[in-house]
Amino acid sequence: MVTPLVPKVDANDFSRTNITELITLCQHAGILGAHRGIPRKTLIALLRGETTARAVDMPDPVDNYREMMLYLQESMPDIIKGQLKCSTDHYFCPACPPARVVACALVNFDEGFREQILKEMKMGQG
């Protein structure tokens, strides 16, 4: 009898699975809202069916950057679209991976400008 090179894995054992892998597993399982802002235990509970995505109300921390980028595109399209180093013609931030959204916001705009825009956005909500 040949001993397998890979040990038998329990499908419910996520002890050696990192956050990125858990998020990917969730997304493959149809839990499209999985993100880094959700605690590890909650991601595992989602995968095991112990809780539902509706029961998890945790905003994605990257959403602030997405909203800022969309606000800038809508409020100053001629200036912003020329500065963005985005490879898409649509500049649709919600479709971009989180790392790209954060990198885009950090690379294209300095901290003072980001703070100014966030203040303008809050004033517009009031």
Residue 3 has pLDDT above 70, yes or no: no
Distance of CA 52 to the CA centre of its chain: 19
Per residue in 10-35, pLDDT (tens digit) is: 667 888 899 999 998 988 888 878 88
| 107 φ, ψ (degrees, to nearest 5) | -75, -40
Residue 41 has pLDDT above 90, yes or no: yes
User: Rounded to the nearest 5 degrees, what angle is found at the Cα of 73, between the Cα atoms of 68 and 76?
Assistant: 110
Cα separation, 79 vs 95, in Å, equals 22
Q: How confident is the model at residue 1 (pLDDT cuts 50, 70, 90)?
A: low
Report pLDDT for 44: 92
Per residue in 52-77, pLDDT (tens digit) is: 888 887 777 788 888 887 777 777 77
Question: What residue ranges do the domains of the chain occupy?
Answer: 1-59, 63-125
Per residue in 78-122, pLDDT (tens digit) is: 777 666 666 555 556 666 777 777 777 777 677 777 777 778 777
Name which of 64, 61, 51 is nearest 121 in CA terms.
64
- For the chain, how far is it from start to end, CA to CA, in angstroms? 72
What is the DSSP code (8-state) at residue 50? S
Q: How confident is the model at residue 9 (pLDDT cuts 50, 70, 90)?
A: low
